[in-house]
Chains A and B, each alone.
Chain A
Amino acid sequence: MSAQKIVVVGNGMVGHHYVDQLIQSDIKADITVLGSETRPAYDRVHLSEVFAGKDPSELAMTTREFYQENQVEAHFGDAVVDIDRANKKAITQSGRQFSYDKLVLATGSYPFVPPIKGSESPECLTYRTIDDLGEIKANAQDSKIGVVVGGGLLGLECANALKNLGLETHVVEFAPGLMGVQLDDSGSKMLRRKIEALDVKVHTQKATSLIDDQGDETKLRMHFADDTHLDTDMIVFSAGIRPYDQLAKKTGLEVGERGGIVIDYHCRTSDSDIFAIGECALYGNMIYGLVAPGYRMAEVAVKQLGNEEEKPSFKGADMSTKLKLLGVDVGSIGDAHGKTSGAISYIFADEKEEIYKRIITSADSKKLLGAVLVGDCAEYDTLLQYFLNEIDLPDNPESMILPNVEGGAPALGASALPMSATICSCHNVSKGDIFSCIDGGCCSVADVKDATKAATGCGGCAALLKNVVDSEMEARGISVDKSICEHFPYTREEIYHLVRVGEIKSFDELIEKHGHGHGCDICKPAVANILASTWNDYVLQNNHVGLQDTNDTFLANMQKDGTYSVVPRIAGGEIKPTQLIAIGQVAEKYNLYTKITGGQRIDLFGARLNELPDIWKELIDAGLETGHAYGKSVRTVKSCVGSTWCRYGVQDSMGQAIDLENRYKGLRSPHKLKFAVSGCTRECAEAQSKDIGIIATEGGWNLYVCGNGGMKPRHADLFATDLDDETLVKYIDRILMFYIKTADRLQRTSVWMENLEGGLDYLKEVVIDDSLGIANTLEQQMAHIVSTYQCEWKTTINDDEKLKRFRQFVNSKTEDSNVVFVEERGQMRPASDDEKTKLIAKSA
């Protein structure tokens, strides 16, 4: 068969998927793509991430080059304006004509703007394309208030975007509730409460009648049918979508009463040479406004071109969704409104935690028909599998959504799922597909992702995918190599045990007994760290010194030019004026660049290796000690002034911070540890972003754990409330020692806890209920560390042998000529390469 001429109109997510599938098939086709947007297809689903900092180019799903390489003729920025069905030609705005054997309409949809007078003003926008994003951003620049019209899924996403842009944000909805399509009444109310708590103002049952420029201090005023009004600077309409079906109408194809190009189960329109797929298509009187169903249509439509006898058909698609809207988890499955006849519901609501869950089952409680989850979507994956695979519910279906019931909710193990179960609906990957991948040699989640694309769409299936892959790998007895490096066939945790149980005190002993070779820059620092958190010997002891990571070797942080920074400990951020003066004098004497750090202390930069001991001698004489800024160890305990000074403080947060910093200083751990203590719920010390966070209450201290800032910020979890001083310290001892014992190298507490099987609840059991019977041991181990603390710099400056190490050259007093400083804002800084060349040329 000679190649068929295929013309695809529209290069959105679905249009591109069609082309991609066609290229990968063995069907011979000359493909032409005609898109009205100026750029090739991009990921619309993740559009909002641009507001959170993503570059629009990262959303690209394909490129012009990819099309070229695959002989696809592609034209962008030129919409198709007519179809000449008699002569089988598509005609574009610029007058170009493309003849086809088969035409595919993938024109998607556009945001509906209600016909309100004034809605054509330049401050009235929509939200669907990358270009729209640009306009919203531009408009937001001189706006204070923004309104989103429409309280559906997209409207709320848009509200989040406006909030991210720093606007006072309002949502105006015509219906009585938010997300009426996906949520029942109570779910919708709970969502509203949560969203209002985030400072987004919600106005329901408001019909906008007019938009004019009569706002008091704003650019616009919206007038509502009930004679109220709302002042705003900009409006984004997100009041539903309408299929782009004008082209189809014009050329006489059948369209639905309320729009949409009518298709049959082979995705054919009323002209059998024309297909329609994605959001422009109407199947069974329904528009599928999600990408997964669109992808299925694209796949079905491609298959119609092939030679197989049996042509697959589109059978409708599941519209369940799980989303995080404005940080609120929302899930909706199947018949969320319980409209099926005879259906019964089980409902759980917790107004304190603002969680609402409802499941809808068949009359005999055997099958799940639908579900609504607001505030907590933990059960979504499991429920969706029950729903999609019609798995029999347990005898007490309410256990599916009740927290901590006796016996626990029956989490659906991956093994309980049938082979046909869809794991990733975006890319239509079933459990069976994953198994055949593993048969074919894939042996990690990453391999399976590469091979099947699973979890690379909306990402909602990632946890389930991991679960399926891991449990199958385990079932097949395939162990994944978790060795720390080529020198030790053990994980960090196993090495920790070998050290403790075998009472091993040095690296040489360990590698002789349990490893081979000389070690490397992975295992040596990890072992040095384990030895330190177990025995707490001086880190520069002869048999340890060669193991230490760069910074620990010289007890300072190396900078880009080979000089070092010096950070004295300033426990809790409290410092005496005399000490401040001493720091200032040292900085001045050694000409060090001085800066207040992000951790409430002072960093002195630009010290040469040979200057470190002298600098430290002077600092120690002034009563200061090392701040361990160089170690994988406790950094700072951030504080606020608390009840001593602050009119809101309810406890002495300052004293607590200082005590804690002094208790745990010097503690080596798998990664650095940061603490904070706030004096009241205003949380000025930002304790909820720390590994260990403490917030004072009337009754004592609330303890938060496993938060961090940095690359991937994570809010800490509330661990225990209203603790007295003694219990607080006891819990922290246990948590930290358990972390040191079980975490991977360079794993911060957040990632550690997320990887602990059982997570926060498990950690509570171990620490609070002592479920492993190790609490005492953990406390004793911490007591040993606390009692053997030493200021490493003090030990070092008193040891002449050790000081020899701090010479730039063993055979000369010369200084490193490559260290060159220039002055900026009254202080010195390292010269740039260019500056160095010039300075060196001058002096030569």
Chain B
Amino acid sequence: MALWEVFIRPRRGLAHSHVGSVHAADAQTALRNARDVYTRRQEGVSIWVVPAAEITASSPEEKDSFFDPAADKVYRHPTFYQVPEGAPHI
């Protein structure tokens, strides 16, 4: 049976987050399986299921070339600014 990746948006969340996977023969069954397996304790208000085979993922072998170049680019972080007094939500 096909594997489906499950994404759930929590009650107070803005975005769906990956929570795990389920097996199912079709999308509707996958959605219901995800409901039964991952929202038993009121974890979510919205579910996405995505065929696992449709996900294109980066390879562990590409890890160095993908991610290491960002390691020494501290200027990409907004840490060189003085935050004005009283500016909220920064």
Q: Do chains A and B stick together as partners?
A: no
* B residues adjacent to A (C-beta < 8 A): none
* A residues adjacent to B (C-beta < 8 A): none
